Amino acid sequence: MGWAESGAPARSRPRWDGAEVNLAAAVCAAQAAAVTAVSWVGTFDDDDHGVGSGGALAAVGLLCVLVFGPALLAALGTLHAAAVTMPAASAARFAARRTSVPEAGWHVASALSLGAFWAVLAVALGGLSATGAPALLIAGSGVLPSLAVAHVRRRERRTGRPPSGRRVWLRAALAALGACVLIAGAGAVGLATGLIREYEPPKLGADRLAGVWRGDHGAVLRLGPGGRARLTRVPAQPEFEDVTTREFTRCDGTGRWFLDTGGRYDPYADGGTSRQRDGVVVRVADCGHDTYWTIGGTAARPELFVLFGDPDSGDLRILRRD
């Protein structure tokens, strides 16, 4: 039963009223859309490793986001309201009746406490880094929805009218759309004016490339200063007759390597940005075809990577310096 049908005073109504849940979920959904837009703009200067560089699959992905994104955001908002905002609102109401601290202050404190609990739990389960932005976002994600609930409670006490569920969701959708357009526009302006610089791979000489590079599943690539290479479980291109059935094989043994500047040797370059990137060619006898490891990362933290299979859905493998 919603507030509009109950006719009871605000303080005597159910703590988890449908109008409050709708409001909290809608505000969280709009907030999540804005954060997603900011995260997307933040990838403008990241190395995409050649993944999802375009084509029909990228268009399908964009269409899926437009069609299913609103429903996913609404579901996320409702889940967040049940896990953070509404428990925080109940705790804030209980504490405000027994102290002189304003209810809005308790809303913020309760939302931060619950958000911190979920963030710590995510870190403990190994899903997030304790110092990363996602953990901080989870910890503070309940503040804005909780303040919105506190504001509506105060207004309802003055006017006696709860917010309309449809109006709340419509306003949240318009706010989310406006925020995303504004953020995307700001990102485009940043790129055009140079305030945001597109990613540029580092230029490394053979002396910087020599050393030990490690990847997943125990992969170790040792590049010697004289062009000698030693591989331990390193992914490599399969023989040409195997490309339809195997995306890569794993190699052990010794071979040769050399630096290729400008991607001239890369047999898999398609005329795009891959032709402009330096790479390392690794040759090992009886271990598949020559593998072209593109140089990525930054000058301080360089990477070698190769994308096996389709550029839009291939298997990305990355090696990093010891």
The letter for the amino acid at 37 is A
| Distance (Å) of CA 147 to CA 4, 18, 65, 108, 109 | 21, 17, 29, 7, 11
The letter for the amino acid at 299 is A
> What is the pLDDT tens value at each position of the chain, 322 positions in all?
333 334 444 444 445 667 888 899 999 999 999 999 998 888 887 787 766 555 454 555 666 777 788 899 999 999 999 999 999 988 988 888 888 888 888 989 999 999 999 999 988 887 677 677 888 899 999 999 999 888 888 887 777 776 676 888 998 999 999 999 999 999 999 888 888 888 888 889 999 999 999 999 899 999 998 899 999 999 887 766 555 455 778 889 899 999 988 666 655 554 444 456 889 999 888 777 788 899 998 888 999 998 887 666 678 899 998 8
User: Tell me, what's the pLDDT at 157?
Assistant: 76
Kindly list the domain boundaries of the chain, sorted by start residue: 3-193, 206-321
User: Tell me, what's the pLDDT at 166?
Assistant: 80
In the numeric block, the tokens 């933290």 are attached to 301
- Cβ atoms of 299 and 30 closer than 8 Å: no
Closest of 263, 281, 280 to residue 272, by C-alpha: 263
User: What's the pLDDT tens digit per position in 125-145?
Assistant: 876 776 778 888 999 999 999
**Bridge partners for 308 per DSSP:** 315
CB-based burial, 162-180: b 16+ in 10 Å, e otherwise: bbebeebbebbbebbeebb
Phi, psi dihedral angles at 38 (to 5 degrees): -65, -40
**Alpha carbon distance 36, 141 (integer Å):** 13
- Cβ atoms of 188 and 180 closer than 8 Å: no
User: Tell me, what's the pLDDT at 212?
Assistant: 96
User: Tell me, what's the pLDDT at 241?
Assistant: 52
Rounded to the nearest 10 degrees, the angle between the axes of helix 103-124 and helix 133-140 is: 150
User: Tell me, what's the pLDDT at 161?
Assistant: 72
